[in-house]
Structure 1
Amino acid sequence: MVQPSDVVMPSGEALLQEERRVRRQGSGLDATALLGCWQLDLVWPKGSSRPAQFSGQILRWLGAQLEISQAGEQLRLRNAVSLGPIELRFEGPGVLEGRRPLLWFHFEQLQIWVAGRCWFSRSLPAPAAQKRPFFALIQRDPSGWLAARGRGGGLACWRLRL
């Protein structure tokens, strides 16, 4: 079994090249390939082939993660960051569409957890359809990483957390 420390993350140039191929041919990714808890590892600003050192380091320090699970036909996403025992969570539904594909989602719930207990929970309004966030999925590597471009144009790469 591949350990997270054994995973070799791709370069920005390699991801950009793969993204061009995926736009033409599709990625072949399905929902089962996305399931799991993904630890954010690298981020690239829009238009750059070099990772953002400062923001990437901060997000790693905060333990930024994306958890994708399946409930019946629907995907569920949880995006979270932690500072010691305090965790900020956003949760909501997602749907995978298209050949590339796009992972559309929106967050219905904002929660603050302290020491494993939910101390605050608030419902969030659904965004207008044309403003829904998405990830344009690029690649899910068998060694344990996932790459996607967000609605804002940035590129992210997550490492599967075992």
Structure 2
Amino acid sequence: MVSQELAPATTFANVLTDAVRGEGPHPQPAQVTTALLEAERQAKQQRYGVDAEALLGSWQLRFTAPNKPAYKAGQPVGKGFYWPAIAPGTIRFSRAENQGDALTIQNQLMLGPLKLQFSGPAKFLPKKNLLAFDFVRLQFFVGRWQLLTLPISGKTGNGEAFPTTRISQLPFFAFFAATERYIAARGRGGGLALWIHSGE
């Protein structure tokens, strides 16, 4: 159980802003998990809308609570942790060329000179703040050298069926916060994530 609730004078926005700060003391993981849950709850209550344009660009994973955190009996339950800087994870959303509102997604994990990338098509449903996607390509790099690029069989095969595939059949992120500094979402598996804008 999350043991540390937000004090009345400390809003979830303050905690999340402090969590993505580059320097200085950061909030305890329990506080960040609680702040994410509160941000999600308020977004639902206020029918907060996320603009797809606010998601475009590169975002570095800052914090994750993977084990389906939630409110139970009015109390926040779930554990999270700051993502280790030694293995930065980055997600990038961009417009697909000549495809209207279609998007692309790239998910990248680095460890020293090693870089693993998954990419594929994505689409955003503004009424539900859902960004659905499918990974259809894998690439592996050592430094600047690309050693491997492979098509992978995602939920929609090679991606051709993606535009007509139902959201219920795809992985997705349900976004509940999007600012110039950070974005936050719950994944289809139930985990929460907080990303910081990488400046790219």
1:26 aligns with 47
1:38 aligns with 59
Q: In 1, are the aligned partners of 2:52 and 2:126 still within 8 Å (CA)?
A: no
- Deviation digits for residues 34-62 of structure 1, max 9, x if unmatched? 01110100001312655533xx444x321
Per-residue deviation, 1:22: 2.4
Q: Could you list the runs of 4 or more consecutive aligned residues of structure 1 that deviate by over 6 angstroms after TM superposition?
A: 6-10
Number of equivalenced pairs: 156
1:96 aligns with 124
2:86 aligns with 61
- Deviation digits for residues 51-78 of structure 1, max 9, x if unmatched? 533xx444x3211110111124211111
1:133 aligns with 2:171: yes
1:152 aligns with 2:179: no
User: Bigger relative contact order, structure 1 or 2, given CA contacts below 8 A and separation 6+?
Assistant: 1
Q: In 2, are the aligned partners of 1:43 and 1:157 still within 8 Å (CA)?
A: yes
Bigger Rg, structure 1 or 2: 2
Q: Which amino acid aligns with 1:46?
A: K
Q: Which amino acid aligns with 2:93?
A: I
Match of 2:102 among 57, 74, 77: 74
- Structure 2's unaligned 5+ residue stretches are 1-19, 71-75, 157-165
Per-residue deviation, 1:104: 0.1
Query: Could you state the TM-score of these two structures normalised by the residue count of structure 2?
Result: 0.69
- Structure 1's unaligned 5+ residue stretches are none
Query: Could you state the TM-score of these two structures normalised by the residue count of structure 1?
Result: 0.83
Q: In 2, are the aligned partners of 1:145 and 1:157 still within 8 Å (CA)?
A: yes
2:35 aligns with 14
1 CA distance for matches of 2:150 and 2:47?
37
Per-residue deviation, 1:4: 5.7
% identical equivalent positions: 32
1:86 aligns with 2:114: yes
Q: Select the structure that is richer in strand.
A: 1
